[in-house]
Amino acid sequence: MAEADKTNRQPAEHRALIDRLGLVTLLVIFVLAVSVLNSLPSVRIDLTENRLYTLSDGSREILADLDEPLQMYFYFSDKAAADVPALRNYADRVRDLLRELEQHSRGNLTVTVIDPLPFSEEEDQAAAYGLQAITLGGPDPVYFGLAGSNATDGREIISFIDPAKESFLEYDITSLIYRLSQKDSQTIGVLSSLPVSGGFDAATGQMREPWTIYSELERTFELRAVATGVTSIDADIATLLIIHPKQLSDATQYAIEQFLFRGGRALVFLDPFAETDTPSAGSQYPADTLSITRHSRLELLERWGISVPVDTIVADDRYALAISSPDGFRPMRHIGLLGLTAEALDSSDIATAGLDQINLGLAGSIIVADESVVSSTALLTSSNEADELPAASVVMLRNPDELRAGFAPDGSEFVLAARIQGQPVSAFPELAADNPEHIEQPERPVQLALVADTDLLADRYWAQTQDFFGQRVVSAFANNGDFVTNLLDNFAGSNALIGMRGRAAYSRPFTRVTELRRQAENNFRTTQEQLQLQLQQTEQRLAELQDNSGEISGEQRAELERFIEQRLLIRKRLRQVQRDLDSDIEQLGRWLKVINIGMMPLLIGLLGIALLLFKRQRGQRLQA
């Protein structure tokens, strides 16, 4: 019996020893795994809906091309912004993105996070970089900017990281990195048949001032004139600004094509009827006003399947600008002059995002043929209250209302500006024999933007200038200049930057709550309008019934009492609508609390019960 007990105890002791060894083994494996994971680069899984923390291909490409160390300094006044949770949360978003960029830079990017405390050396450094300090109601200024430097003391900054531009956060930071990595400045060639750069006016015998858009671009870029008869584009020109090209030779258009095929970019402005194309720009004689050709075209693009019809303009009733009437007394809406608002602009493109208004004059439409090998992405679009009218109808137009005679919108929308990209074959094969460096088809998609209007560049459509103690001061009332500058700045970057689009926002609104509130407000507004209408009708009735003596008759008193009672009932209905709104939102909040607070413990409990049942069934099978 004792021997049997001893025999039974031995397996139990063996099992206990095995259990201890198993625990020790698991502990050793855990320690080793933690050590190995800590020695490896951090690995994160992006489970956000719009992959907010995953770098785009463009950012990865630019980081992969870095060949020198770059330093990035993220200045954020963490302590000064302690009472602004929204800004602190966005700062965490910026910090995470910078760390992600640093991790993918192969050691060529170093990010330093700095809290510039008041009166500290760090604050002096932030100010020396040119970062912008803001006040948020507290005693101390808040810095929220980014500064970068390269090995040759080149510097770039984002003076203030605007939370309103969150969708372009990655683009802005990656663009800064790209600029730091470039050795040479970007030159923009300007090919124009309009006197945008000023110069001598043969009609008046005087020198003309440059257009404001040209002067503003000179502040940012190095501009170089390109003759309209050029047969080759200088190698150091990165982008072509082509404005109102008229009767360009095949040789010139071939030079433009080969420039694009070599990786150059182009911003092209065509027009079916350019108001700015006056005799002073094209002739010495004012009598030539009627005979001058005011449209422009580029046969190169037409051979690729892209056209801007020269015989029609786009008229739009929704975006019609108000101008002075011929009699000078009343304003009137000109359906041929368009003031595009944010709804007509592509909010996901860096060139148009955040802009409020772009004004155009007698613009055309961009058409891409179905069989074209290139594709287009609309930047500016008309509303569905637009129609095409003959360009000839505006030649001798005196009263804008005359345009409405043939105006019949059918719900169609027209593209007024677009990005064009693709890999077309050469449109001028007959000229290839004379060019030993001829490129038949580009290795990468060509990048250009096409705008079907040139008048938007003219001062009168977007800016007022005045002389202030010898200085030319510009006051912009539309975003035309921003639109052009943004496109050229975008083209000055790499192909990787050009392909980047706006990302989704970090913050997510409570869409269901917003929808409930919107529905209730609609109901509230309808009831309020009914109350106002009944009030107006009752007051009108009282005025009709009141006698000359000013005394209130019995009928009037009854009418007044009925109105008072009616008004009380309607006010009760208004309060009930508001209570219903609050109750719906409160009920939704209760359900969210139940799901967020109670669902996880419930799931864990169910999982525990399932495991318990599984072990019990397994034990029963082993005993059987």
Least confident of 76-80, 168-172, 502-506: 502-506
Pick the closest to residue 364 from 290, 285, 233, 455 (CA basis). Answer: 455
Predicted confidence band at 259 (pLDDT cuts at 50, 70, 90)?
very high
pLDDT at 165 over 90: no
DSSP 8-state symbol, 40 = S
20/490: higher pLDDT: 490
pLDDT of residue 313: 96
DSSP 8-state symbol, 79 = T
Q: Which residue has the tokens 């101390």?
A: 140
Q: CA-CA distance, 54 to 549, in Å (whole number)? A: 81
Q: CA-CA distance, 151 to 149, in Å (whole number)? A: 7
Predicted confidence band at 293 (pLDDT cuts at 50, 70, 90)?
confident
Q: Are the CB atoms for 454 and 196 separated by under 8 Å?
A: no
Element at 539 (helix H, strand E) = helix 511-545
Give me the percent of the chain exceeding a pLDDT of 90.
44
Partnered with residue 190 across adjacent β-strands are 225, 241
206/442: higher pLDDT: 442
Pick the closest to residue 243 from 203, 220, 285, 211 (CA basis). Answer: 211
28/196: higher pLDDT: 196
Q: CA-CA distance, 30 to 550, in Å (whole number)? A: 96
pLDDT at 425 over 90: yes
Q: What is the pLDDT of residues 387-424, one digit of tens each?
A: 999 999 998 888 888 899 889 999 999 999 999 999 99
Q: Which residue has the tokens 């671009």?
A: 217
Partnered with residue 109 across adjacent β-strands are 70
pLDDT of residue 339: 96
CATH class assigned to 187-492? alpha beta
Phi and psi at 401, nearest 5°, equal -65, -20
pLDDT of residue 265: 94
Q: Give SS3 for 238.
A: strand
Secondary structure E strands in 184-253: 187-192, 199-201, 206-208, 222-225, 237-243
**Nearby residues of 380 by Cβ (< 8 Å), 6 or more positions away:** 340, 344, 345, 346, 352, 358, 360, 415, 416, 417, 418, 451
Amino acid type, 512:
R
pLDDT of residue 282: 45
Q: CA-CA distance, 309 to 313, in Å (whole number)? A: 8
**Does this chain's domain 57-180 share its CATH topology with 187-492?**
no
Instruction: Please give the mean pLDDT across all residues of the chain.
Output: 81
Predicted confidence band at 548 (pLDDT cuts at 50, 70, 90)?
very low
Q: How many C-beta atoms lie closer than 10 Å to residue 216's C-beta? A: 18
pLDDT of residue 142: 92
Q: Which residue has the tokens 């864990």?
A: 604
Q: What is the pLDDT of residues 559-588, one digit of tens each?
A: 667 766 776 676 676 566 556 655 665 666
> What SS3 string covers 298-316?
CHHHHHCCEECCCCEEEEE
Q: CA-CA distance, 230 to 281, in Å (whole number)? A: 20
Q: CA-CA distance, 97 to 68, in Å (whole number)? A: 21
Give me the mean pLDDT over the 120-133 stretch: 91
Pick the closest to residue 52 from 176, 174, 170, 171 (CA basis). Answer: 170
**Domain ranges (residues) in the chain:** 57-180, 187-492, 511-546+554-596
CATH of 57-180, one of 3.30.2020.30, 3.40.630.30, 3.40.50.920, 3.40.30.10: 3.40.30.10
pLDDT of residue 609: 80
Query: Per-residue DSSP letters for 447-479?
Result: EEEEES-SGGGSGGGTEEEEEETTEEEEEESSS
Pick the closest to residue 424 from 500, 379, 369, 377 (CA basis). Answer: 369
Q: What is the pLDDT of residues 514-528, one digit of tens each?
A: 565 556 555 555 665
Q: CA-CA distance, 237 to 1, in Å (whole number)? A: 102
Q: What is the pLDDT of residues 320-353, one digit of tens each?
A: 998 876 665 567 899 999 999 999 999 888 889 8
Q: What is the pLDDT of residues 357-383, one digit of tens each?
A: 999 999 999 999 999 999 999 999 999
**Nearby residues of 147 by Cβ (< 8 Å), 6 or more positions away:** 72, 73, 75, 126, 129, 131, 155, 156, 157
Q: CA-CA distance, 320 to 418, in Å (whole number)? A: 21
Q: Interior CA angle at 60 toward 55 and 64, to 5°?
A: 155
State if pTM tops 0.75. no
